[in-house]
Amino acid sequence: MRQVDLAQKVDLSQGEISLIETGQVARTSLRTLRRVFGALDADVVITIRWRGGIIDRLLDERHAELVGAVATTLARFGWEIDPEVSYSIYGERGSIDLVAWHASSRTLLIVEIKTELVSVEATLRKLDEKARLGPRIVAERHGWRPTAVARLLVLPSDRTVRRHVARHAAVLEPALPMRGTAVRAWLRRPVGSLSGILLMTATNAGSGNIAVDTGRRVRTRRRVAA
């Protein structure tokens, strides 16, 4: 696409498109950048680096701990685990945090693990893509032929995440309706498919227990001195 064609499509001048193309975007608003790259079927991603990337390493470590906890739990329930499975099929590319296979029921489980819920729409869209491509990926990689494909979004069990899940319930519940104890029961004995959200902590991995969010507060009685 020529600069002038793109400029007409997004209602900018050819000069502004030229500046963006050469990297001179200091005076260009984020909204304009998104409009320009959206016309090219591309996304604008901003990366914040704090103190030389310390925050990236902290987030990566937290993510790795949660992946390990989920993998350990699934293995105790009899699932075969394949972590960080990358794919590139017809322009759709990415990496699946955990691919899990339950041989006796021939169930494929696609697990997306997030340390925070930033964009609900993007998360659901990518999880749907991975679940849709999952049977082909595992057939080519392992020769598995699933009869059921399940989707699971795993998030940390903390107050902030629970607030975000509740705030976006109108979108999350139709797409991922199963929660808590129902998810745990299905993981132990999968029957049919599943679409759900699981809140858990990395500290549960050793025991194989899953922190289930019931949405209820537990009040303790204070001890009063005599």
Regarding whether 120 and 21 lie in a shared domain, the answer is no
Whole-prediction pTM value?
0.67
Same domain as 12, residue 109: no
Least confident of 15-24, 48-57, 194-203: 48-57
Q: Is 151 helix (H, G, I), strand (E, B) or coil?
A: strand
Whether the pLDDT of residue 207 is over 50: the answer is no
13 and 62: one domain? no
The CATH number given to whatever domain includes residue 84 is: 3.40.1350
| pLDDT for residue 50 | 64
Q: 208 pLDDT exceeds 70?
A: no
DSSP string covering 161-224: HHHHHHHTHHHHHHHS-B-HHHHHHHHHS--S--EEEEEE-GGGTTTT------S-----PPPP
The pLDDT value given to residue 206 = 43
* For residue 217, pLDDT beyond 50: no
Going 172 to 100 to 205 to 68, the CA torsion angle's sign is negative
Q: For residues 70 and 34, state if they share a domain.
A: no
Q: For residue 41, what pLDDT is reported?
A: 86
d(CA 181, CA 77): 14
Domain-embedded: residue 224 = no
Rg (CA), the chain: 22
Same domain, yes or no: 125 and 30: no
* 13 and 70 fall within a common domain: no
**Per-residue model confidence as pLDDT tens digits over 126-166:** 999 999 999 999 999 999 999 999 999 999 998 889 999 99
**Confidence at residue 219, expressed as pLDDT on a 0 to 100 scale:** 40
The tens digit of pLDDT for each residue in 113-130 reads: 998 888 888 899 999 999
* pLDDT above 90: percentage of residues in the chain: 58
Q: Is residue 154 part of a domain?
A: yes
Domain count, the chain: 2
**Domain range spanning residue 89?**
54-204
Residue 216 lies in a domain: no
